[in-house]
Chain A
Amino acid sequence: MEDQRQNVLKKVHGAAPLTVCSKTLHKLRGFIVVMCGLCALASAPAQAGDTIKVGLVLQLTGPFTDSGRQMLNAVKTYMSQHGDTVAGKKIEIVVKDVGGPAPDVAKRLCQELVVKHNVDFIAGFGLTPDALACAPIATEAKKPTIVMLAATSIITSKSPYYVRTSLTLPQVSEPMAQWAYKNGYREVYTLVADYGPGHDAEGAFQKAFVKLGGKLAGEVRVPLKNPEFGPYVQRVKDSKPQAIFAFLPTGELPVAFMKSFKERGLAQAGIKLLATGDVLDDGVMDAMGDSPLGVISTYHYSAAHESPENKSFLAAYKKIDPITRPNGHAIGAYDGMAAIYAVAKQLNGNIDGDKAIQVLKGMKLNSPRGPIQIDPVTRDIVQNVYVREAKKIGGKVYNVEFETFHAVRDPGK
């Protein structure tokens, strides 16, 4: 690799000493331009002394850029609020871009963070496969690893050094089923994106709903690349259920879905939309216009959460990114940083993998989303799940919380 490049360079220098006549040089101009460009890319990472290093593995390009951005911004937000020194040590962030679901790249980046950068914490992980692929490295290198987003239940069981500060999908899907049944919905149609997390959400909702005595009016899985929701929404409308339960990954799918839902007049046909917060993600709410009004969703965080912590978080976030609203992805990263700061403080800056995990187990934090705790056994997050309704506040649509399920554990375990 590095060496292949140098090999190429060697050939260049060996073959063409710089004394070649100017005519030759002129002909080779293009080649030299490219080569110089490549040389300029070589850079050695600087080593710092008294620091605590945190390696962040994020999706900063590719189809999940938005989520990676939110997370990076949240990390910056936390550091802007709390300074970059803890227990006399400077917190240094090493950011790596995975560029989408790419477990092979993620694993390589983790390995590099460990062997090259010698980080004290690994953190980030937007997507499940990336987190799963890195588990053996965290275990072998004994690096405390904060999963800041990836939401599949099993992740934390893959390494004793894994801790999660985000959510699991069943954690928010199951309360939706309970709320729906309690509020008189008996026949619900499920609509989820056809991929692993979608299947998880569907399973969790259906299981809980049927167990309570509800009936499924039908189920449909929509492809992840699906610019046209018409036929699916029509199918749901034709079967006239009381409500739909929907899970779609944050991004353009929920926008297209909400537009279709509104355009085909499902609300007027008396069909209530229930969803996980991913569908009504704060980051894409502005792109949806008024179509989400009245939709009920369950999630762990809403930008409209009323608390002083959230207020100061929102204000600080706005300084980092004035355009976008922070969403549930951002909050996981924010609390992940909070956890890292807390560990560093408690261990007085001397990070040791096993001790760090001991501190993390059972840790309680006052997050902008409300109180959270790390389960001492599963190292997964225990948090409040809120039932929200989309309402207009000051000209913009927000998810306003009106009911709380307290200290919910991941039902997937």
Chain B
Amino acid sequence: MHSFLGILFDGLAYGALLFVISVGLSITLGLMGFNNLAHGVFAMAGGYLLVTLMSKAGIGFLPALPIVFCVVALGSLVLERTLYRPLYKSTPLNQVLLTVGIIFIATAGANYIWGSGQQPVVIPGWLSGQYAVLGLDLSRYRLFLMAIVAVITFALVFGLERTRFGAKIRASVDNQRTAEAMGIRVERVFQLTFALGSGLAGLGGALGVDVLGLDPNFAIKYLVYFLLVVVVGGPGSVFGTLLAALLLGVADIAGKYYVPQLGAFIIYAAMIILLLLFPHGLLGRRKAK
């Protein structure tokens, strides 16, 4: 029984990790409808930024996180202006091509600047190791991740559903022309939404370094995972993304523990089954664009 609870915890923790690295994409892909395969580039930027801040500038892990979020969000504005905006109304295929181009550039760039090896990140002592709770060994870092996930989810849901800016986003996404006619500066709203999504990607990348490692191929290596979580959850739905991440996380971990022979298959199989059952994602809007 203990072992089962332990597995459940590990699964949820893994789900939390999946959520953290993918939620930014849920915003750019789901809300804005931009096929942003370069999501991982922003995550990778966040990771490298964290490593650099910690090793070169001597900033601690926790204070570095908000800096990463802000810097990546600001940096993304430049890309939004120059590359993304001209393609908002273009075909998905062109968006794919553009973002793949960005991945290539970022991979080569990271190789050039930071070298091809794994980057070290030292998380503070109070975050490493395990807590023993009721006979269960709970990883501190995983608990920390779960707390962050709770905060992000709450902030996003509250922000999107309850604030004026959230209403503007929803209006702009649902009907651009009407929103413009109502006096909403759609361009501005999209810009901020994009920055938010990218900032979250950066934050996710920074939080993920300790578990996923960080090398120049990060953006392409975990692309499948980002897409998987967002599409299964239903693009644009924060709760959907959370639910999908937790479900896939638990399924994957439980599968790997009980049937290790099938370890590599479980997450893909779970995805296909979930998508066949819920073709528009778990909590996706039926008319998802």
A residues less than 8 Å from B119 (CB atoms): 287
Instruction: Report yes or no: B118 in contact with A234, Cβ–Cβ below 8 A.
Output: no
Instruction: Report yes or no: B253 in contact with A231, Cβ–Cβ below 8 A.
Output: yes
Given contacts A287-B120, A321-B115, A324-B115, A62 and B217 within 8 Å (CB-CB): yes
The proximity string for B residues 134-149 relative to A, scoring 1 for CB distances below 8 Å and 0 otherwise, is: 0001010100000000
Instruction: Report yes or no: A228 in contact with B118, Cβ–Cβ below 8 A.
Output: no
Q: Give the nearest-CB partner of B264 in chain A.
A: A223
Residues from 238 to 289 in B contacting A, C-beta threshold 8 Å = 252-254, 256-257, 260-261, 263-264
Partner pick for A252 among B108, B141, B212, CB 8 A cutoff: B212
B residues less than 8 Å from A287 (CB atoms): 117-121, 213
Q: B190 in the interface, Cβ–Cβ < 8 Å?
A: no
Nearest-Cβ distance from residue A253 to partner chain B, whole angstroms = 8
A residues less than 8 Å from B121 (CB atoms): 287
A residues less than 8 Å from B3 (CB atoms): 234, 238
Q: Give the nearest-CB partner of A286 in chain B.
A: B120
Size class of A's contact patch? Answer: 35 or more
Instruction: Report yes or no: A69 in contact with B257, Cβ–Cβ below 8 A.
Output: no
Residues from 146 to 168 in A contacting B, C-beta threshold 8 Å = none
- The stretch of A21-29, A101-109, A259-267, A302-310 that contacts the partner chain: A259-267
Instruction: Report yes or no: B120 in contact with A289, Cβ–Cβ below 8 A.
Output: yes
Instruction: Report yes or no: B212 in contact with A256, Cβ–Cβ below 8 A.
Output: yes
Given contacts A63-B221, A289-B122, A226 and B215 within 8 Å (CB-CB): no
Q: Give the nearest-CB partner of B107 in chain A.
A: A61
Q: B178 in the interface, Cβ–Cβ < 8 Å?
A: no
Residues from 117 to 167 in B contacting A, C-beta threshold 8 Å = 117-122, 128-130, 137, 139, 141
Given contacts A221-B261, A223-B264, A263-B139, A228 and B120 within 8 Å (CB-CB): no
Given contacts A227-B212, A228-B253, A324 and B14 within 8 Å (CB-CB): no
B residues less than 8 Å from A221 (CB atoms): 260-261, 263
Q: Give the nearest-CB partner of A100 in chain B.
A: B217
Instruction: Report yes or no: A65 in contact with B216, Cβ–Cβ below 8 A.
Output: yes
The proximity string for B residues 6-47 relative to A, scoring 1 for CB distances below 8 Å and 0 otherwise, is: 110010011001000000000000000000000000000000
In the docked arrangement, what's the CA distance between A63 and B111, Å?
Answer: 12
Q: A255 in the interface, Cβ–Cβ < 8 Å?
A: yes
Q: Give the nearest-CB partner of B13 in chain A.
A: A230
In the docked arrangement, what's the CA distance between A283 and B119, Å?
Answer: 10
In the docked arrangement, what's the CA distance between A109 and B219, Å?
Answer: 27
Residue among B14, B137, B211, B225 with most chain A CB within 10 A: B211
B residues less than 8 Å from A230 (CB atoms): 10, 13-14, 253
Instruction: Please list 15 pairs of residues, one from A and one from B, whose beta carbons are closer than 8 Å in the complex, sorted by A's number.
Output: A61-B107, A66-B215, A228-B14, A231-B253, A232-B260, A232-B263, A234-B7, A238-B3, A264-B139, A265-B130, A265-B137, A283-B117, A284-B118, A286-B117, A323-B115
Having A228-B211, A256-B212, A264-B130, one finds 20 other A-B pairs with CB under 8 Å, namely A65-B111, A65-B116, A65-B217, A221-B263, A224-B264, A225-B221, A227-B212, A228-B14, A231-B10, A231-B257, A231-B260, A232-B257, A232-B263, A234-B3, A251-B215, A252-B213, A262-B128, A263-B139, A287-B118, A289-B122
